[in-house]
Chain A
Amino acid sequence: MMSTEKAESVIIRINGPVVMADAMGYANLGDQVKVGHEGLTGEIISLENDVATIQVYENTIGIKPGEPVVTLGIPLSVTLGPGILKSIYDGIQRPLHKLEEQSGRFIGRGLTVSGIDVEAKWEFTPVAKVGDKVAALSVLGTIPETSLIVHKVMVPPNISGELVWVADAGEYAVTDVVAKIKTDAGEKEITIMQHWPIRTPRPAPKRLPPKIPMVTGQRVIDFLFPAARGGACAIPGGFGTGKTVTQHQLAKWSDVDIIVYVGCGERGNEMTQVLDEFPSLIDPHTNKPIMERTTLIANTSNMPVTAREASIYTGLTLAEYYRDMGYHVAMMADSSSRWAEALREISGRLEEMPAEEGYPAYLASRIGEVYERAGRVQITETNGDVREGSVTIIGAVSPPGGDFSEPVVTHTKRFVRTFWGLDRDLASARHFPSINWLTSYSEYDVSEWWEGRSDLSWKDLREEAMGILKEDDRLQNIVKLIGPDALPDRQRIILETARMIKEAFLQQSAFSDVDSYCPVEKQLAMMDVILYFHEQANKSLASGQTLHHVIGLEVVEDIYRMKEAIGQTEIEKFTELKNEIEEALGS
């Protein structure tokens, strides 16, 4: 790895985080380099003749021209192996607790720390047998990484051949060789620890269409604006909109195995809140801390801008690694706007021609590349076994001045298929989750998955509910002018049903024992009840009953209370409720 080291490469220019070095002709574009006597971490971002332009991930004050530059001969990479979960990293995968051991409360310069502990011993159990034909991503053995996650030691993506030796079950360090593979290019030794360049997507053997929803147990998401496994979602990060609680709910309840949270350019104090709170969240399915299946990446706004730019890729690579093991991963990036600003800043330092609002012309393609790393994949073992994994990206956007027409938001909307528009007015009206049903959308077609869940048609129910909400919005404009009394009863019942959808269905308390998580079967049954009421109420009005009578019925109260009163599995009670509606409204 260090063989390409040449002593004569020296710094010839320093301008903030951008450094130029001479005699670098032998280096590769994208190589990771050590800059100066202190060995600051950097990356080659352009080469011209013999001169390399390097972006440095640490503060360059005090560095001089003439100091050495050493390339490591490999692109900026992350270290993969057991120990990633439960860790808290900076943007270039340095464990923050290890940095603290070395330099105290302030982050020092030139610190080199391995992303995973090279001394820790792990319990390795071989899965593959000598003589097996193995290929990229074949599982060689397993390691219990945390109480929730079994780590799989896999053949790296570029190796295939015959397994000639595999280690016995026992305790190994991550640097130990656990398998030897005979390939066309000779015998390769495989260690537990592997590396992968962060800017190169890990190859996806076979991509599956995003047709399976990532079930969150949140009605407004699952029922109205579903996220697909392997999909990309955007969520605006405005203050006071309940973003934090929404994120916590997603982390707690989503049916994913692993969570990668990237705090990218956030405020120090807010990052602290995340670092304090995530370890205290309990996984409701297993009653174990969520950290057992989480990794956090924290790069606050005052940490080097270049590391902020890298942090998203670091997170993606870690997510893809667990995807390859066959896990479903959710990567949350907060906020992608700060990441885009880092791109702008570095671009300015490189004196590139700016495009829209000073952002580089390649902003859109970079955003596209990032969201394209989401996906659901299928991996087939050489013996025919199949496993499935996914990376779902949930990116927060925080547009300056709340302006949704600025470049980062507009380009993001081109590449994501789900948009959850958090709404400040809803939040201040105590409507949580404050996802606005008119500005949000989801283009993922997950109806096939829903068909198998129940006799009820999700697609039909959803369409009807959305129709009522849209009609309600139109009528509300009229109501504002002339008051509700001026509307005929058949329109007023739309207002009443819409209110019922909003309050009895869309509102969901994160702090309720019964309702914090709502299974999809219950979601379907609840909406079915509401729309059944709407249908019966319309019939009743047509046969001469008054609106006042209809909405004053006792059963209406029962509908409003059903989310709390009916347990997660008591689906049959919804049929009883429908019977009550029929009795109360029947002719």
Chain B
Amino acid sequence: MQTGGKIIKDLQSAGGPILVVNRVTDVAYGEVVEILCGDGTTRRGSVLDISDKRAVIQVFEGAHGLSLRNTSVKFLGKTMDFTVSKELLGRVLDGTGQPLDGAPMPFGGETRSIYGSAINPVMRAYPEDVIETGVSVLDCMNTLVRGQKLPVFSGNGLPHNELAAQIARQARIRGTDEEFAVVFAAMGVKHDDADFFRNEFERTGALERATMFLNLASDPAEERLVTPRFALTLAEHLAFDCDMHVLVILSDMTNYCEALREMTSARGEVPSRKGYPGYLYSDLSEIYERCGRTRDSKGTITQLPVLTMPNDDITHPIPDLTGYITEGQIVLDRELHQKGVYPPINPLPSLSRIMKDAIGEGKTLADHPNVANQLYASYSRVGNIRALAAIVGADELTDADQRHLKFGDAFEAHFIGQASSERRTIEDTLALAWKLLGLLPTQALHRVSPEELKVNYKSISEFEEE
């Protein structure tokens, strides 16, 4: 790296976030640069495409205001890296890992490439420890497992931030009081959203075991492309070197993908679906797959990416490709939100792919899998009956159908719905589930075993809160 600090003045073109520099030698793919502007300010960037004649540079702050004649580019002779240490917990940083809280960067630590490397599949361990989030509809029906990546599919105006903050605050390994270290990466979020998280973490004292990386909506879009990588580099250090359990919240992945699209179209790359680059899947998997457990360390990384579905469309490339990499999804529902249900998680399209191996006898509760199946089946039937009732009128329905309607309303209000400060244990959640199932006739409960019915079922006609 003896070439660090080489300055080139020969700029060929500037446009959008892209700067093309001529006559470069000995510059690496992915190398970090400093752009020295005519007015004495500097910007940062990295090399996106390098040939023996020219380098294509992505400028984090955008190329706007640069002149081809007065600007020079300093190649720093290293690729983008980040010096990580445990001391970064409790700190607020910008999207490229620089302090925002006025304090200096901690001394020492290990310098890592932010791009990381793939975990060797034979070194992975299968996730199996249930995380109790205290949110009933998650814990019972879409259980989060330590080492899992479970995204929140949301829409504009839905309370995904409250939910993410609640999970960060309440998450515990079942049966322990062990708390998670939280690495929070904000990409292109609004100023007040970032403040919300910061205040939440400060108010609850969570900040001391959290690190925040903030790239706000007003910050350069190009910076968003590296923010999750900085965050995950720290998370990997905390988990695999310091044996900590880390919860990574990435919000909002849609902004990340938009920034990627912006960058690739500025470079004139061949677009794929909806203008996103063809490699969006691999790019996202490089982020999402930086999570899990390994055989040789105690720590884990659990990822909770948040993304807002453009126009609530779950088949949009961003949620679609995300769903193919992550182990399920939590889907927020506008209709539930409009009914005033918090958190408005719709259990029907939501899914946790690896919960089946983590719940049940000896892990959570013996009747957990069947109760989860039963709630899913019954609530799914409620949807059909509501559709029917809209046509023929509720009075025409059979008694069993009427009872399902009653169950559906109570299920939404009391099981899905809970206060944002409420933390329910899995035992509470399952007791509540059995109480709600009491609204249904036993003939409609096929997914639970007769023995389970005998022990837990008690028919009720109205649900009353205790």
Contact = CB atoms under 8 A, between A and B. Distances in A.
A and B co-occur in one complex: yes
Interface of A: 10-16, 20, 22, 59-66, 88, 96-97, 99-100, 103-109, 239-240, 263, 265, 267-273, 275-276, 298, 300-305, 341-342, 344-345, 347-349, 351-352, 354, 357-358, 398, 400-401, 428
A12 B115 contact: no
B292 A61 contact: no
Contacts of B121: 88, 96, 263, 268, 271-272, 275, 298, 300
Interface stretch (B45-53, B415-423, B451-459): B45-53
Instruction: Across the A-B interface, give the 5 residue pairs with the lowest CB-CB distance, nearest first.
Output: A348-B278, A358-B272, A302-B289, A301-B285, A13-B51
Given A62-B29, A269-B124, A400-B321, A300 B289 contact: yes
Given A268-B292, A300-B289, A301-B325, A348 B272 contact: yes
Contact of A272 (B79, B124, B324): B124
Contact of A100 (B122, B240, B315, B351): B122
Contacts of A66: 25-26, 52
Contacts of B353: 239, 270
Nearest to B50: A14
A351 B52 CA distance: 19
Contact of B122 (A62, A275, A304, A398): A275
13 contacts: A13-B49, A13-B52, A61-B113, A62-B29, A62-B30, A100-B120, A269-B126, A271-B124, A300-B121, A300-B285, A348-B272, A354-B272, A358-B278
Nearest to B126: A272
A345 B50 contact: no
Nearest to A276: B126
Contact of B278 (A269, A302, A345): A345
A401 B289 CA distance: 21
B296 interface: yes
Interface in B414-440: none
Given A61-B113, A107-B117, A265-B285, 13 more contacts: A14-B29, A15-B29, A61-B29, A62-B30, A62-B31, A105-B120, A267-B289, A268-B124, A271-B121, A271-B124, A273-B126, A348-B270, A358-B271
B79 A344 contact: no
Nearest to B314: A401
A400 B147 contact: no
Contact of B285 (A59, A108, A276, A302): A302
B51 A20 contact: yes
A60 B113 CA distance: 13
B320 interface: yes
A100 B124 contact: no
A103 B118 CA distance: 11
Nearest to B127: A269
Contact of B281 (A12, A273, A345): A345
A300 to B, nearest CB: 6
Interface string B332-359: 0000000000000000000101100100
B122 A305 contact: no
B273 A105 contact: no
A12 to B, nearest CB: 4
A342 B289 CA distance: 17
B148 A400 contact: no
Given A99-B120, A272-B124, A357-B273, A62 B281 contact: no
Contacts of B126: 269, 272-273, 276
Contacts of A305: 279, 282
Interface string B15-56: 000000000011111110000000000000000111110000
B121, B279, B324 pick with most chain A CB within 10 angstroms:
B121
B269 interface: yes
Contacts of A268: 119, 121, 124, 289, 292
A106 B116 contact: yes
Interface in B224-250: 240
A106 B28 contact: no
Contacts of A109: 117
Nearest to A99: B120
A401 B315 contact: yes
B155 interface: no
Nearest to A348: B278
Contacts of B290: 302
Contact of A88 (B48, B122, B286): B122
B122 A303 contact: no
B324 A348 contact: no
Contacts of B279: 16, 305, 345, 348-349
A65 B120 contact: no
B277 interface: yes
B292 A269 contact: yes
A63 to B, nearest CB: 5
A354 B271 CA distance: 9
A392 to B, nearest CB: 25
B118 A303 contact: yes
B272 A64 contact: no
A398 B321 CA distance: 11
Nearest to B145: A269
Contacts of B25: 65-66
B240, B278, B288 pick with most chain A CB within 10 angstroms:
B278
A358 B321 CA distance: 15
A60 B288 CA distance: 20
A163 B126 CA distance: 52
B358 to A, nearest CB: 11
Nearest to B268: A351
A358 B324 CA distance: 18
A88 B292 CA distance: 20
B27 A358 contact: no
B327 interface: yes
B123 interface: yes
B281 A106 contact: no
A235 B138 CA distance: 31
B255 interface: no
A470 B116 CA distance: 54
A447 to B, nearest CB: 40
Contacts of A301: 281-282, 285, 289, 325
Given A61-B30, A271-B121, A272-B124, A13 B277 contact: no
Contacts of B118: 106-107, 300, 302-304
Contact of A96 (B52, B122, B127, B286): B122
A507 to B, nearest CB: 16
A351 B282 CA distance: 17
Given A66-B25, A88-B122, A268-B121, A345 B282 contact: yes
Given A269-B354, A348-B278, A354-B272, A65 B119 contact: no
Contacts of A263: 121
Nearest to A67: B28
Contacts of A13: 49-52
A20 B49 CA distance: 11
Nearest to B380: A428
Contacts of A351: 269-270
Nearest to A341: B281
A11 B50 CA distance: 10
Nearest to A303: B118
Nearest to B294: A105
B102 to A, nearest CB: 32
A59 B117 contact: yes
B125 interface: yes
B148 A269 contact: yes
Contact of A269 (B51, B147, B297, B320): B147
B115 A59 contact: yes
B270 to A, nearest CB: 5
B277 A348 contact: yes
Contacts of B113: 61-62
